[in-house]
Structure 1
Amino acid sequence: MDGKAKVIDKTGKDVTELYIKGANATLRKAKEVKATIIVLKENSPSCGSSAIYNGEFNGKKTAGNGVTTALLRRYALQVISEEQFGENLS
């Protein structure tokens, strides 16, 4: 979110701006519905909340936040993964 990372698709195209637009749309909706906890898909370059795929399209992951997660957390919204959500149901 600080211009330090990029999202590149499998063809090599920079899709960072599309991800940022999606993150901003999610932030607007979260504020609109007054969300307090947001559950997103782990490992996604958009939604990962503790790990994301490393960008080499080899299935390997690295520690980090996706674009949407980073933006939501910047606005003090709590983001958890579907894995964490499932743990809380047990």
Structure 2
Amino acid sequence: MRRVLVSGCLGGSPVRFNATGVDVCSPIWDRWAAEGRLVSFCPELSVGLPVPRPPAEIVGGVAAEVLDGDGRVREVTGRDVTDLFRVAARRAVDRARAAGVVLAVLVDRSPTCGTSQVHDGSFTGRTIPGRGLAAELLVRAGIPVFHQGQLTQAAALLDGLDRDD
């Protein structure tokens, strides 16, 4: 069975930086859960970041640049957490591969999991087009990423892969 990597906070688990989760109300999500397809994983927790934790944003670049050695990830406090976020991204890919994941559904606007938008590094709430580090590394590994508002598109891809068997 093909599986779907999902951000640990999706489905309501309160593991986000502010100790909240993101509810997902969708028959697609419910079906995948019933079929045992969901592989829940929080990259930030996997590297020991606490809940709650200070907000973090990509500054001075985009995820691809951070992964390639340029750009940084900083907490609102100024603490540089770039190395932790790089390791978190690698752990997401490792978890996806180990679980036989073929696509990921991640929470958008996160410096780790963002798939179409991330915060701009100013800690003012502004967003810009882009991906988080784990989303970028998953794409590099050949795993398509979607955000929680794109379940229909993700399901179409998964259904197509299942039909190809």
TM-score with structure 2 length normalisation? 0.51
Give ranges in structure 1 of 5+ residues lacking alignment. none
Aligned length: 87
| Structure 1 counterpart of 2:132 | 66
Inter-partner Cα distance in structure 2 for 1:48 and 1:84:
13
State which of 78, 82, 90 in structure 1 corresponds to 2:148.
Answer: 82
Moved over 2 A (4+): none
Inter-partner Cα distance in structure 2 for 1:33 and 1:26:
11
What root-mean-square deviation, in Å, do the aligned CA atoms of Structure 1 and Structure 2 show? Answer: 1.1
SS of the equivalent of 1:18 reads helix
Deviations 1:30-59 (A, max 9, x none): 000110111111000111111101111111
Deviation of residue 70 (structure 1)? 0.7
Amino acid in the other structure paired with 2:76 = K
Give ranges in structure 2 of 5+ residues lacking alignment. 1-66, 156-165
Deviation of residue 4 (structure 1)? 2.2
Inter-partner Cα distance in structure 2 for 1:41 and 1:3:
24
Query: Which structure ranks higher in relative contact order (CA pairs < 8 Å, sequence separation ≥ 6)?
Result: 1
TM-score with structure 1 length normalisation? 0.91
Q: Structure 1 vs Structure 2: percent identity of aligned residues?
A: 32
